[in-house]
């Protein structure tokens, strides 16, 4: 009886239709004919390269993708001497799909992270860049799902 239950459970899980999201990264169901980028160039380049989007004006039908990205690094707290002790990095990206006449989809993606300052400025700079990369990667995953849904 145990073997039959395990066998049925196995076949049920195998045939449930589960498929990894990133399995077919290049097979997008949305045709992009024009890409318009505003804001932070490094963030925009990373998004475009990960999503494998190319600007193709020869397509007769398709959507226009607009990306507007912003990065903010602000001081949240200071000590008595006026030195920054806590920082916050916030990255926001506004993505919209539109055709000639109207906006088809639009969404703003915002991620932020709060962290303590370090005494070594070089290590602190690398730490900030690492945080920024992680936030961008999280937003890229959300944009990928947004475009393919």
The verdict on residue 118 lying in a domain is yes
Q: Tell me: the pLDDT tens digits for 29-54?
A: 567 788 889 999 999 989 888 877 66
Phi, psi of 65 (to 5 degrees): -100, 125
- What tokens appear for 66 in the block? 């607009």
Q: Tokens 């990095």 map to which residue?
A: 89
Total domain count for the chain?
Answer: 1
What domain range includes position 48? 29-147
Of 29, 101, 28, 105, nearest to 66 by C-alpha is 105
The verdict on residue 11 lying in a domain is no
Strands (E), 79-127: 84-98, 103-116
- What tokens appear for 61 in the block? 């039908």
The verdict on residue 22 lying in a domain is no
Alpha carbon distance 131, 135 (integer Å): 6
pTM of the model: 0.76
Q: Tell me: the pLDDT tens digits for 107-125?
A: 999 999 999 999 999 999 9
């Amino acid at each position: 009886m145990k073997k039959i239950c395990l066998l049925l459970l196995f076949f049920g899980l195998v045939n449930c239709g589960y498929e990894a999201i990133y399995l077919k990264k290049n097979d997008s169901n949305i045709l992009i004919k024009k890409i318009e980028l505003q804001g932070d160039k490094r963030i925009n380049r990373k998004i475009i390269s990960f999503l494998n989007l190319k600007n193709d004006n020869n397509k007769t039908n398709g959507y226009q993708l607009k990306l507007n990205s912003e990065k903010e690094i602000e001081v949240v707290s200071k000590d008595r001497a006026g030195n920054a002790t806590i920082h916050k990095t916030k990255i926001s990206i506004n993505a919209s799909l539109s055709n000639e006449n109207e906006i088809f989809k639009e969404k703003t993606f915002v991620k932020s992270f709060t962290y303590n300052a370090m005494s070594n400025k070089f290590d602190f700079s690398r730490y900030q860049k690492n945080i920024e990369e992680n936030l961008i990667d999280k937003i890229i995953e959300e944009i990928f799902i947004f475009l393919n849904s």
